[in-house]
């Protein structure tokens, strides 16, 4: 990495990997809003006080001189509460450059951390007389590409990441954008060349580049806007309701901007830059934070087989509508008898918890009405006996998982959050799945603004006070904050399995997510669907799950998360008990991970060692073309013999025409074994390996 100032005093950096330039000279800086009228609390004059050089003060991107530079080297190994490995090395060289802007007598510092596999940089704003309170108009961090690279991208959007990925040259993004923007419950695209991070790119000479951010705290989410004539990405922050990109007070810092680079796609998966750029864990006692394998009353609502709502009333008002006197619709899934069936299934098969959605009043008119007081997070429907469910689950050794859909009425959620969390603890709930579906209240706010990012963190911090784990859906995509707050055990923040019931995902979708969305942290992807024809659950829904059954098994290995759901209905698992055995057996916390084969959008194969024992699990997924996987088992201990149970696609398997064709076989393996295994289009395989 090289840093310099241009002739006009603009900060400029470049980055090379193995002697090859991957980031051309790129400018850094920020643009501020002009200072408004300043006044003391007792100044009622019409004019107030204005600065003589207000326009000049909008510029924090040029006119700088270098005041001083500091260098350092850091090397430590830390242990995550949960993770893909039991230890993570954090090793970097650091360069901190303090810049002075003589015209305004203001200083900023740009801190670079150079790792073996990439670079992180951030802006730091020391406390100073001429820069205390300021508002961001835009951050102007550039990432200048060296050519018309291939990118795997989703549209830039202030409200959703739930898009299928498009693979194209950078020069083609503009022409493909309209087609890439598909309908969503809340969406605000901002540019015909705007894309989201984490963004994966591949150069024509085989180098991989990932652009993202780390430690997104008290700041707006960063997107990338492409100058498609010069192939230069520039940061584009999510605004608030007034169009401001952030309100800051010195001393303060920005999130880290990250660049991961390699000539081997497997290194992208192995990189821990995002986690390493976050602060160490701030929760002193983490003994209550535990990985969770769960089932839930969810998929039957997603597919339309059942409903979240108790009745078909067009309008309800909490505290006024008497639900004991309304006519039930007969489709409400979160009823006591039905939930007990799920609890029985969980207890029989060794699952930790049962999620129940639709248990609480308010679902009749929850979406699309900009309704403030939409849920109270406390009151169950008449057919859901919460106390009896608590007693029954406890008697079976099963935990219940809470659901807090907010309908994006964030003000309402914050009003209730203490009572809601205390209610959870009083009734035996240790984890909550939160949701932010729909447009925001306060109206005009976006899902990824500074204000909303502060809310998401507030909910996580408040949950930690109650020793509650959080799985946040529709929130900002993660940026490694789970290192600091490991009670954030899951996020959605991408197009998940639910879209398989909304028309389907691209068959290569899960070969992309580990290179993009999962760079920032684990995803509650909700795998494990065994019945791909959704019309068999709901005749009115003709969606198809674009995956083979073996692919669904492999996702428990390839889509890392300490929170893993077996998402299908128990009746479908009972149809395939031999395949279901893998979901029961697979670990969800790991001592080690090996990335065996990888090409974004095409295939990946990962081996993971279960935490605390010598069992290994291998997963392979592939896209539309299918894939012949060839892997060595040299990750196993030399001199030991293991039994491998291989769950693979059948010879005639295909994600569309024959997704339930699979085979199961066992074989002895050692560290010298090599396996060649064919995966069908949209397919894959999963392996459980145990010592003999």
pLDDT digits (tens, 9 = 90+) for 470-492: 999 999 999 999 999 999 999 99
What confidence category does residue 511 fall into, taking pLDDT thresholds of 50, 70 and 90? very high
Q: What is the pLDDT of residue 592?
A: 98
Name the strands in the sheet holding 684-691, side by side, starting at the edge strand that comes first in the sequence: 590-599, 603-610, 616-622, 684-691, 642-649, 662-669
Per the residue annotation, which of 139, 357, 445, 498 is the catalytic one? 498
Query: Residue 308 contacts by C-beta under 8 Å, 6 or more apart in sequence?
Result: 301, 332, 333, 334, 357, 358, 363, 366
Which residues pair with residue 433 across a beta bridge?
A: 403, 471
Q: How far is CA 534 from CA 97, 298, 331, 355, 653, in A?
A: 57, 14, 17, 21, 18
Instruction: Report the percentage of the chain scoring pLDDT > 70.
Output: 97
- Lowest mean pLDDT, pick from 42-46, 360-364, 547-551: 42-46
Q: How far apart are CA 110 and CA 133, in angstroms?
A: 19
pLDDT tens-digit series, residues 305-352? 999 999 999 999 999 999 999 999 999 999 999 999 999 999 999 999
The mean of the pLDDT values for the chain is 97
**pLDDT band per the 50, 70, 90 thresholds, residue 35:** confident
Confidence of residue 37 (pLDDT cuts 50, 70, 90): low
Tokens 């999510």 belong to: 238
Query: Same CATH fold, 292-587 and 2-34+53-276?
Result: no
Per the document, the length of the chain is 692
The contacts of residue 352 (CB under 8 Å, 6+ apart) are 290, 292, 293, 294, 346, 398, 399
Query: CA 393 to CA 344: how far, in whole Å?
Result: 8
- pLDDT tens for each residue of 392-402: 999 999 999 99
Q: What is the DSSP letter of 421?
A: H
Q: Of the candidates 598, 551, 559, which has an alpha carbon nearest to the alpha carbon of residue 579?
A: 551
Rounded to an integer, what distance in angstroms lies between the CA atom of residue 667 and that of residue 686?
14
110 pairs with which residues across the strands? Answer: 97, 123
- Does domain 292-587 bear CATH number 3.20.20.70? yes
- Torsion angle, CA of 610/433/458/517, rounded to 10 degrees? 60
- Catalytic status, residue 279: no
Tell me 562's DSSP state.
S
CB 398 within 8 A of CB 347: yes
Half-sphere exposure of 542 (CA within 13 A, CB side): 0
- Looking at the chain, the whole-number percentage of residues with pLDDT higher than 90 is 97
The continuous run of DSSP H or E covering 415 comes out as helix 410-426
In this model, does residue 56 exceed pLDDT 90? no
Instruction: Tell me the CA distances in angstroms from 649 to 425, 491, 549, 595, one per residue in order.
Output: 44, 29, 8, 21
pLDDT at 50 > cutoff 60: no
- For 2-34+53-276, the fitting CATH number among 2.70.98.10, 1.10.1040.10, 3.40.50.300, 3.30.470.20 is 2.70.98.10
Rounded to whole angstroms, the Cα distance separating 83 from 588 reads: 9
Q: How far apart are CA 222 and CA 122, in angstroms?
A: 13
Each domain of the chain, given as residue ranges in start order, spans 2-34+53-276, 292-587
Measure CA 437 to chain center: 15
> What tokens does 478 get?
């993660």
């Amino acid at each position: 990495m090289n840093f310099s100032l241009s002739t006009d005093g603009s900060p400029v950096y470049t980055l090379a990997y193995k002697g090859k330039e991957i980031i051309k000279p790129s400018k850094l800086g920020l643009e501020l809003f002009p200072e408004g009228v300043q006044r003391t609390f007792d100044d009622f004059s019409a004019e107030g006080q204005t600065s003589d050089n207000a326009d000049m003060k909008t510029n924090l991107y040029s006119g700088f001189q270098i005041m001083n530079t500091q260098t350092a080297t850091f090397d430590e190994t830390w242990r995550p509460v949960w993770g893909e490995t039991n230890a993570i090395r954090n090793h970097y060289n650091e360069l901190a450059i303090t810049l002075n802007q003589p015209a305004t007598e203001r200083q900023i510092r740009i801190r670079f951390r150079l790792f073996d596999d990439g670079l992180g940089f951030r802006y730091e704003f020391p406390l100073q007389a001429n820069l205390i309170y300021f508002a961001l108009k835009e951050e102007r961090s550039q990432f200048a590409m060296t050519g018309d690279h291939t990118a795997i991208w989703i549209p830039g959007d202030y409200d959703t990441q739930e898009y299928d990925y498009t693979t194209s040259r950078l020069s083609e993004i503009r022409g493909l954008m309209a087609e890439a923007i598909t309908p969503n419950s809340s969406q605000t695209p901002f540019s015909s060349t705007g894309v989201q991070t984490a963004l994966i790119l591949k150069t024509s000479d085989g180098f991989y580049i990932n652009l993202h951010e780390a430690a997104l705290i008290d700041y707006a989410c960063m997107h990338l806007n492409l100058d498609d004539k010069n192939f230069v990405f520039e940061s584009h922050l999510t605004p608030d309701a007034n169009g401001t990109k952030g309100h800051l007070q010195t001393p303060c810092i920005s999130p880290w901007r990250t660049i991961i680079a390699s000539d081997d796609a497997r290194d992208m998966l192995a990189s821990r830059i995002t986690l390493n750029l976050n602060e160490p864990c701030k929760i002193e006692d983490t003994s209550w934070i535990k990985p969770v394998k769960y089932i839930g009353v969810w998929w039957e609502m997603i597919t339309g087989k059942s409903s979240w709502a108790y009745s078909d009333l067009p309008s309800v008002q909490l505290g006024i509508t008497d639900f004991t006197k309304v006519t039930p619709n007969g489709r409400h899934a979160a009823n006591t008898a039905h939930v007990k069936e799920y609890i029985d299934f969980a207890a029989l098969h060794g699952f930790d918890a049962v999620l129940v959605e639709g248990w609480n009043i308010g679902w009749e008119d929850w979406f699309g009405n900009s309704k403030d007081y939409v849920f109270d997070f406390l009151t169950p429907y008449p057919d859901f006996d919460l106390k009896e469910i608590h007693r029954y689950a406890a008697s079976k050794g099963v935990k219940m998982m809470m659901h807090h859909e907010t309908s994006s009425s964030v003000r309402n959620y914050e009003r209730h959050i203490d009572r809601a969390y205390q209610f959870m603890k009083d009734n035996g709930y240790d984890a909550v799945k939160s949701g932010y579906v729909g447009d925001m209240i306060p109206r005009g706010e976006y899902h990824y603004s500074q204000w909303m990012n502060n809310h998401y963190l507030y909910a996580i911090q408040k949950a930690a006070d109650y020793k509650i784990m959080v799985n946040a859906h529709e929130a900002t995509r993660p940026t490694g904050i789970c290192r600091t707050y490991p009670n954030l055990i899951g996020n959605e923040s991408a197009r998940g399995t639910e879209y398989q019931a909304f028309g389907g995902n691209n068959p290569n979708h899960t070969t992309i997510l580990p290179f993009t969305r999962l760079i920032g942290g684990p995803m509650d992807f909700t795998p494990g669907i065994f019945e791909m024809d959704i019309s068999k659950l709901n005749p009115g829904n003709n969606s198809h799950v674009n995956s083979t059954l073996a692919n669904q098994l492999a996702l428990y290995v390839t889509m890392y998360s300490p929170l893993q759901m077996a998402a299908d209905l128990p009746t479908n698992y009972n149809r395939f008990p031999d395949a279901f055995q893998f979901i029961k057996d697979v670990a969800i916390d790991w001592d080690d991970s090996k990335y065996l084969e990888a090409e974004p959008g095409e295939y990946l194969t990962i081996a993971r060692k279960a935490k605390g024992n010598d069992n290994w699990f291998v997963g392979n997924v592939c896209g539309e073309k299918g894939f012949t996987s060839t892997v060595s088992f040299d990750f196993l201990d030399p001199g030991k013999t293991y039994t491998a149970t291989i769950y693979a696609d059948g010879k005639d398997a295909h994600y569309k025409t024959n997704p339930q064709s699979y085979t199961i076989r066992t074989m002895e393996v050692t560290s010298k074994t090599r396996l060649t295994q064919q995966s069908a289009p949209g397919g894959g395989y999963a392996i459980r390996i145990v010592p003999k």
